Structure 1
Amino acid sequence: MIPEGTRFLLPPEARLKAEVVGKLQHLFRRHGYEPVELPALELYDPDHPLAGRAFKLVDKTGEVLALRSEFTTLLAKLLRAHLGEGVHRFQYAGALWLREADAELGRLREYTQVGLELLGATGPLADAEVLELAFAALEALGVQGEVEVGLPSLVGEVLKASRLPEALQRRAQQAIHRKNLPELKGLLAESPVPEEARKVLLALPDLYGGREVLKEARGLPLPPKAQEALAQLERTLDLLGRPVLLDLGMARRYEYYSGIFFRAYTPGFGLPLLGGGRYDGALFPKAAGFALGVERLLEALRLPKEEEAPEVLALDLKALRRFARERRTELFHGEDPVAYARRRGIPFLARGEELFRVEEA
């Protein structure tokens, strides 16, 4: 009666979902974020990052349309022509559709997001505001969360300084993001790299932890723009005044994120509950924001509070030896480690020296 990847909710769950959305909207409104409403249909754009996974249809004039697959790009396009100078705060909520949605709880093709955008403001205070609201959103829902902050632009600046060919830069970026040090060493051996850049690149996968990571990073021969980005991150965290988990090897989409990138996780659930960051110049001159996955939040709210899962699921003994020294690690016995990790809420898989997020497997 309904297609695969969609849901029919009965009153208890439908009520909880409405309460979650309502609490987030109320929180954002109290902080000055006004609601906007976006159409579910938009003109199909073959250059959209999710174009290959969008639901497409053709109207009677032959125009190709697409169901809304994310909010930020469409919102930025619509607002560019209407906003003047100054700071603008917007929030949104609604359904999204993807033809091949394998990231939102595994199989959903229709799911709900609530998010916000801070436009026209940049710098440490603006970043701290967005991060503070990410914490506040989890607290408003009673979800215990840990916020993980990265700086993809720092990785991008170091890769530029490496003078690696573009194809090798891409592969190195992926190795850094997966924390695969042996692969990274092999890539750096394929092309001449300045010694300072080599030193920084090999250090990036291990720059993971608390505020002590900033001190380690400051001791490296970073390019000037990377030093500036690191200093701005430190000022942001000083203003925020909350503990975060830093991952300076987080390298995904460094061309898009001009500053911080962050995600939030909760114990016992392996997928991020929210994600966002700063994307100055990508869609809007000065912009930052984040979105929460409502279906993920509903799953997290059902978790037994006392459940404690390992942080890493090791796929072989080498990985167990490597990662058990610093994180709670369990050796996997079975046939489907990804499904097992998602069921237990284990955020990382490890094979040999390589560590990667479950949602990237």
Structure 2
Amino acid sequence: MKNEALTSPGGFRDYLPEEAAQRRGMTGKAERVFVRFGFVPLETPAVEHTELIAGEEGFAKQTLTIEGGALTLRPEHTLPLARVMATNPGIKKPAKLYRIGPVWRGERQQAGRFKEFMQADADIVGSKSVLADVEILALTYTLIKELGVANAVIYINHRKLLDGLLKLLKVPKAEQGNVLRVLDKTEKIGWDGVLKELKKAGVGMKEARVMKSFVTASGKPGSVLQKLQELLKGNADGEAALAELTEIVGYLDTLKVPGRAWRIVPGIIRGLGYYTGLVFEVVAKGHEDVGSVMAGGRYDKMVGSIGGADMPAVGVSVGIDRLLAAGVGAENKLPQGVLVVSDETTVRDGLMFADELRAAGVSAAPYLGKDKTIKGKLSYAAASGARIVAIIGAEEKKNGTVTIRDMEARSQETCPRAEARARVKKRVL
């Protein structure tokens, strides 16, 4: 077999036990937060018909297909959700649904980005109320806290502000999507690079200067909103969006989301074309190289666009592997269980004690290696992360005892066999 066959394909990777524990720890915490906020689970297949995915702007060149191109590995959880809602009109609405699982995209591998990655999504479908937007932002802030994302900031914007600006500047509708994609590159290529591309798109210098003033507006929320109001004066759609955004962020104060945790950033565009209202991204300061670690927004037209009834929706997606790349999740360690050690004369005793511990809810396993020395078995216990080593040798069997060695405290005691299970459980749990 060739050496390359023994490596993971490009853009895919293995997660060894330590990292796997970190990922599972994060998805477990995310799921518990979703449930606390009243969301219920939804599971969809790993593949969708390519026709569904290819019709969505932003995915045409980023997908991985199978079955000769007829099926596409899901590139996200939102489109499958839209399909489910379109084909299951009996689902009670507003519906609060969450999904956790891998997604696949044909992206170039870079920091925190792979062709296969884990996402945890939560969406509210069937509510136009700004309270649904507020609920998603409150959920996002809670996820930041519960997952331990240090120095994270939610960058908030409204897609219709951008639409209103382009309309005010008389950018032809056919060119608006292209102009938004160019503006979305501001952080990557700088304003000089954006200006060159805007010029190619037919945007005049005067209009480009107004766009720059818009996407670079910064400061306290009040001053940013005031600046946007000045720039959008005379455009009804933009002014309505501004009023909606003002209402949304006003509720953040009500929910005591601290000002340091969010900002209004008009340059946040989100590359996917299906957003229709609120848009936001979460960036972990000091780890900007991995991109946004959470993102989301409102997408009121997606369900209707694929054949279902019009259905407003808003949600958030958590990039588990981007969080891992940003150093989040290190506190999620491998489970620290009990290693039960016996010798040739006490094998049955060791198996019985391990079984008793498991029945009591304690992670326990008998030693299965070939080393016959206590030193070797303790060395294995230390390397495997066992918290406790329960020793039942010939001497312990004779005396009706168990020797309990605490690998973390570096202490040891010998107790009656009848008390051993309770004592081990107390140390571990």
Taking structure 2 as the reference length, what is the TM-score of the superposition? 0.63
CA drift of 1:27 comes to: 0.7
Give the equivalent residue in structure 1 for 2:47.
Answer: 41
For residues 291 and 126 of structure 1, what CA distance do their matches in structure 2 show? 15
8 Å CA contact 2:22, 2:329 repeated in 1: no
Give the equivalent residue in structure 1 for 2:315.
Answer: 289
For residues 79 and 148 of structure 1, what CA distance do their matches in structure 2 show? 29
1:165 correspondence with 2:182: no
Aligned partner letter, 1:67: L
8 Å CA contact 2:156, 2:280 repeated in 1: yes
SS in structure 2 at match of 1:301: coil
1:119 correspondence with 2:120: no
Structure 2 CA distance for partners of 1:227 and 1:296, relative to 1, 3 Å: same
For residues 175 and 42 of structure 2, what CA distance do their matches in structure 1 show? 42
Gaps of 5+ in 1: 305-361
1:87 correspondence with 2:99: no
1:27 correspondence with 2:47: no
SS in structure 2 at match of 1:232: helix
Q: CA RMSD in A?
A: 3.0
Q: 1:207 aligns with which of 210, 217, 220?
A: 217
For residues 272 and 21 of structure 2, what CA distance do their matches in structure 1 show? 39
8 Å CA contact 2:73, 2:104 repeated in 1: yes
CA deviation vs aligned residue, 1:136-189 (integer Å, no higher than 9, x gap): 111001112111011222111221232233465455434544273782897499
Higher CA-based Rg: 2
Q: 1:272 aligns with which of 292, 317, 323?
A: 292
Q: 1:110 aligns with which of 106, 116, 140?
A: 116
CA drift of 1:226 comes to: 0.6
Query: Could you tell which deviates more after superposition, 184-193 or 76-85?
Result: 184-193
Aligned partner letter, 2:38: G
CA deviation vs aligned residue, 1:204-224 (integer Å, no higher than 9, x gap): 133223312012222332401
CA drift of 1:127 comes to: 0.8
8 Å CA contact 2:26, 2:329 repeated in 1: no
Query: Could you tell which deviates more after superposition, 248-257 or 136-145?
Result: 248-257
Query: Could you tell which deviates more after superposition, 237-246 or 175-184?
Result: 175-184
> How many residues are aligned here?
298
1:55 correspondence with 2:64: yes
CA drift of 1:48 comes to: 3.8
SS in structure 1 at match of 2:302: coil
For residues 230 and 288 of structure 1, what CA distance do their matches in structure 2 show? 18
CA deviation vs aligned residue, 1:111-138 (integer Å, no higher than 9, x gap): 1000111111123211110001011111
1:180 correspondence with 2:184: no
8 Å CA contact 1:123, 1:232 repeated in 2: no
CA drift of 1:64 comes to: 1.8
Which is richer in helix? 2
Structure 2 CA distance for partners of 1:129 and 1:290, relative to 1, 3 Å: same
For residues 215 and 149 of structure 1, what CA distance do their matches in structure 2 show? 15
For residues 80 and 249 of structure 1, what CA distance do their matches in structure 2 show? 32
SS in structure 2 at match of 1:86: coil
Give the equivalent residue in structure 1 for 2:24.
Answer: 18
